[in-house]
Amino acid sequence: MSSAANTAPPPTAVVQPPPSPSIPWVPLAWFFTLLVVCYAPVLRQLIHQWSNDDDMGHGFFVPVIAVYIAWLNREKLLASGWHTNYWGLALVIFAGVQVFVATFAAELFTQRTAFVEAVIGAVLFLGGTAAVRILAFPLVLLFFMVPIPAVIYSRITFPLQIFASQVAEFLLNLMGYAVLREGNVLELASQKLSVVDACSGIRSLLSLTFLSLVYAYFFDTRAWMRAVLFVAVIPIAIAANAGRVTLTGILSEINPEYSRGMFHEASGWVIFMIALSLLVGFHQLLNRILKPATHATN
């Protein structure tokens, strides 16, 4: 019998597939739990303002939507791989120093933005720059849950009050209603209407800006279109609020009770939904205008 028949074939090496990347859920959960515990006093005051300040009613939705968008990107996070980046830990420490100093200075805005900075730092520390790039939009979105500083708020609201009063005066006179304006006060035949801070339009502007970003993220992938919708919110919100003041003036001439209480609040919601519809309609109109142009170039 030949020796070749007794020779066994050489063993083949078994190539093991590389382990599939995974997100370190346990360290993430521990890290973010510690952040929430450390920033509990800041978050408690923030939630209290969301509950009592109508301008910040959208604050409750910001973290929910941000987490949902992050969850939608989980496949990208898995594919990118997670690598520790100690610059993130440095950012978390910097945010801790910031909130410490801001607490002594009684400066709420920097206290609250420190928490957002700490969240970004935690993502960078645990997931690396790839995770931050993937989660850039929901991380930036978190800043919308922080109220703007009072100094900036007052500088924005007063010009908006005056503008809404001027537009309402013009439209009411155009429709045959006698009105005299003194600053932000409209004097009608039946009563005086004051365009206060709540009627300045800042509430609609803040909420619509947040919603415009979320809407553009889900319904349009073009970066330039998202920027256009973001900018379009400003004139839409200002015009809608001026319309609300005008509508309040008309309703107060019909019945003074319509300018206050439940009717006034209801008109605010109606105008807000109209403004949101105008934003969506503006987006659809742009798509209709640009669609023929795209086909022509192709």
Which residues, listed in sequence order, are joined to residue 66 by a DSSP beta bridge? none
Q: What is the pLDDT of residue 84?
A: 84
Q: How far apart are CA 106 and CA 104, in angstroms?
A: 5
What is the percentage of the chain residues whose pLDDT exceeds 70? 81
Q: Which of 246, 258, 254 is closest to 169 using CA atoms?
A: 246
Question: Which two three-digit tokens encode residue 147?
Answer: 């109220």
For the chain, the maximum distance between any two Cα atoms, rounded to a whole number of angstroms, is 122
Radius of gyration of the chain (CA): 27
**How far lies 57's CA from each of 18, 36, 50, 78, in Å?**
47, 21, 5, 34
What is the percentage of the chain residues whose pLDDT exceeds 90? 27
Q: What is the pLDDT of residue 149?
A: 84
DSSP state at residue 100: H
Lowest mean pLDDT among 92-96, 121-125, 190-194: 190-194
Tell me if 190 sits within 8 A of 269, measured CB to CB. no
- Is residue 251 packed enough to be buried (19+ CB in 10 Å), middle (13-18) or exposed (0-12)? middle
Tell me if 160 sits within 8 A of 241, measured CB to CB. yes
Q: 252 versus 21: which is more confidently predicted?
A: 252
Please state whether the predicted TM-score (pTM) of the whole model is above 0.85. no
Q: How confident is the model at residue 170 (pLDDT cuts 50, 70, 90)?
A: confident
Q: 270 versus 65: which is more confidently predicted?
A: 65
Average model confidence (pLDDT) across the chain: 81
Q: 248 versus 34: which is more confidently predicted?
A: 34
Q: How far apart are CA 167 and CA 246, in angstroms?
A: 8
What is the average per-residue pLDDT within 166-175?
Answer: 83
Q: What is the pLDDT of residue 172?
A: 83
The torsion angles phi and psi of 157, rounded to 5 degrees, stand at: -65, -40
Q: Decide if pLDDT at 284 tops 60.
A: yes
Which residue is listed with tokens 């920097």? Answer: 110
Cα 91 from chain centre: 22
DSSP state at residue 193: E
Q: What is the pLDDT of residue 115?
A: 94
Q: What is the pLDDT of residue 137?
A: 93
Dump pLDDT digits (tens) for 78-114.
Answer: 887 778 889 999 999 999 999 999 988 888 899 999 9
Which residues, listed in sequence order, are joined to residue 185 by a DSSP beta bridge? 182, 194
Q: How confident is the model at residue 143 (pLDDT cuts 50, 70, 90)?
A: very high
Dump pLDDT digits (tens) for 16-73.
Answer: 545 545 666 777 778 888 888 989 999 999 999 888 887 788 889 999 999 999 999 9
* 201 SS3 class: coil
Q: How confident is the model at residue 118 (pLDDT cuts 50, 70, 90)?
A: very high
Q: 235 versus 265: which is more confidently predicted?
A: 235
Q: How far apart are CA 57 and CA 47, in angstroms?
A: 10
